[in-house]
Amino acid sequence: MTSGNGTSPDAHPSDERRAPVPDRDRPVLVAGATGYIGRRLVGELVAEGRKVRAMARNPAKLAGEEWADVVEIVRGDVLDPASLTEAFEGVGGAYYLIHSIGGEDDWEERDRRAAANFRDAAANAGASQIIYLGGLGDDAGASLSPHLRSRHEVGRILADGAVPATELRAAVVIGSGSASFEMLRHLVEVLPAMVTPKWVETRCQPIAVRDVLAYLVGVLDEPHALGRVLEIGGPDVLTYRQMMEVFAEVEGLRRRLIVTVPVLSPSLSSRWVGLVTPLPSDLARPLIDSLVNEVVVHQPDILDIVPRDLLTYRESLEVALRRVEDLQVATTWADAELRGRNPADPLPADPDWAGGTLLGDVQEGTSTAAPHLLFATICGIGGTRGWMTGDVWWRIRGTLDRLVGGIGMRRGRRHPDDLRTGDALDFWRVEAYEQDHLLRLRAEMRLPGQAWLEWTVSPAGEGSAVTQRALFHPRGLAGRVYWLAVSPFHRVIFAPMLARLVEIAESGGHLPTTGDPDRDAV
């Protein structure tokens, strides 16, 4: 099933069940709207004048988007058929931008159930089209990696229903904040010389994220795209070695020395990538596994359906790097959560926690600074600015996390000042954000339990009152032992941290910068 048309055997099974082109008054559903592609796609659809319904397990993550006021944001979970029934009500086209890369051990089975649920909900609602973004790779060639094999299987499941499906298959997506872009950037910038497996000679056809978005929008309601698998790629076919060499040229770096060796296991490669780049090893591993498969376009039928002048690989790098420098990164790979609690689980402030074990370090203070200034100062923490106190301990903690396959501290932050619900912030994620009042971060490091760091700010006379809470919900004996082990360090971190934030807010709110984006390298 590489690519097909209305009569070829490679077309989706739904090809003969084509639905009429829907009325533009029907909303378009975007499942996976909080992800790297999903957030950007919603904006593109809005710009095209489409009515959009953005679906997310945690709708609060989309509240800060520029398009939030003109888009219907609904809660929905592809593993919860009841929520899908509500999300699909009255929908025309539906985008499926969900995949469990970096998920738990049963991720393939969960992807099957999720795709089947989505397919059936679309049919029950009378939707007109399902559009899915999958991965390139020849089913008839060498055995596919588990990641690509699952991508293709999801496409078949979505197509095996009453609603015609359009599957776009892409290889490496190049754009500011994409996982592939960040992996390449850090490998090239950090390592003047590297030892790599044979996969560096595998051919790939990278594509700019803006071209991916244009194709996703272009096939919506397009009769010639219904019931088809369409391969998409940029104009260049390169090996991964060539991609790294061009990246170095674009950044003005010296030519990188790349030495290949016949044996280097995917597990070792992913841990190596995890140490050098911001990507945790459980995300790097499926990406590394897929690099052994050649991913190039064999049938460029998409060019007849959505004619377009495509960016070259070099041009896409230049655009992405310029956006990074100008702080115009709209979405990043870190927008998608790899692990973590279900959004339906209780928060630390919920009464459902009564009777549970919740350990904490609570600090309170007052400030002469106005609430909005103190809150803005707090929201500027992390990234290249660091965590105000105990920087060496933060570095050590980040390094230890990466050594066991965690995310460490290198994710940084999307923007030096702006935060929104769902943003990654070093090894935390913004779980709750209320302007000038509440910021709650949830830890995504590897822990024997769940941890949060929270600030609440309120007016107090002519100034502010602030409460800082470090909370930990231990899992078993290991969790309690962990808390006891790190408690001594809390005494030299959390109280000075709050005092420093208050001091900075009272002096005008100008946070210092560490100047070291790789703070977890001890």
Tokens found for residue 380: 């500027």
DSSP H helices, 162-250, are 179-190, 209-218, 240-250
Q: What is the torsion angle, in degrees rounded to the nearest 10, for the CA atoms of residue 325, residue 326, residue 331 and residue 337?
A: 50
Distances from the Cα of 312 to the Cα of 309, 352, 430, 452, angstroms = 9, 53, 35, 43
pLDDT category of residue 267 using cuts at 50, 70 and 90: low
Q: Over the stretch 103-123, which tens digit does the pLDDT of each residue have?
A: 566 778 889 999 999 999 999
pTM of the predicted model as reported, rounded to 2 decimal places: 0.66
Tokens found for residue 168: 């776009």
CB neighbourhood size of 143 (10 A)? 10
Please tell me the predicted confidence (pLDDT) of residue 338.
43
Q: Over the stretch 283-324, which tens digit does the pLDDT of each residue have?
A: 666 666 667 778 899 999 999 999 999 999 999 998 888 876
Please tell me the predicted confidence (pLDDT) of residue 345.
38
CB neighbourhood size of 136 (10 A)? 27
Least confident of 122-126, 149-153, 319-323, 477-481: 477-481
> What is the DSSP-derived secondary structure letter of residue 296?
-
Contacts of residue 475, Cβ cutoff 8 Å, sequence gap at least 6: 448, 449, 450
Q: Are 479 and 453 in contact (CB under 8 A)?
A: no
Distances from the Cα of 401 to the Cα of 10, 49, 106, 155, 333, angstroms = 45, 45, 23, 35, 19
User: Element (H or E) spanning 166, and its range?
Assistant: strand 165-170
pLDDT category of residue 49 using cuts at 50, 70 and 90: very high
Please tell me the predicted confidence (pLDDT) of residue 408.
73
Q: Are 414 and 421 in contact (CB under 8 A)?
A: no
- Report the C-alpha gap between 1 and 305 in whole angstroms: 19
Q: Are 129 and 19 in contact (CB under 8 A)?
A: yes
CA nearest neighbour of 330 among 133, 177, 517: 177
Q: Over the stretch 55-97, which tens digit does the pLDDT of each residue have?
A: 998 888 787 788 989 999 999 999 999 999 999 999 999 999 9
The 3-state DSSP class for residue 50 equals: coil
Q: Are 285 and 266 in contact (CB under 8 A)?
A: yes
> Which one-letter amino acid corresponds to residue 447?
L
- Report the C-alpha gap between 226 and 505 in whole angstroms: 56
DSSP 287-356: HHHHTTS-B--S--THHHHS---PPPHHHHHHHHHHHHHTT-----GGGS-SS---TTSPPTTSGGGTTS
- Report the C-alpha gap between 508 and 500 in whole angstroms: 13
Tokens found for residue 28: 């378009």
- Report the C-alpha gap between 384 and 461 in whole angstroms: 33
Is the confidence at residue 160, as pLDDT, over 60?
yes
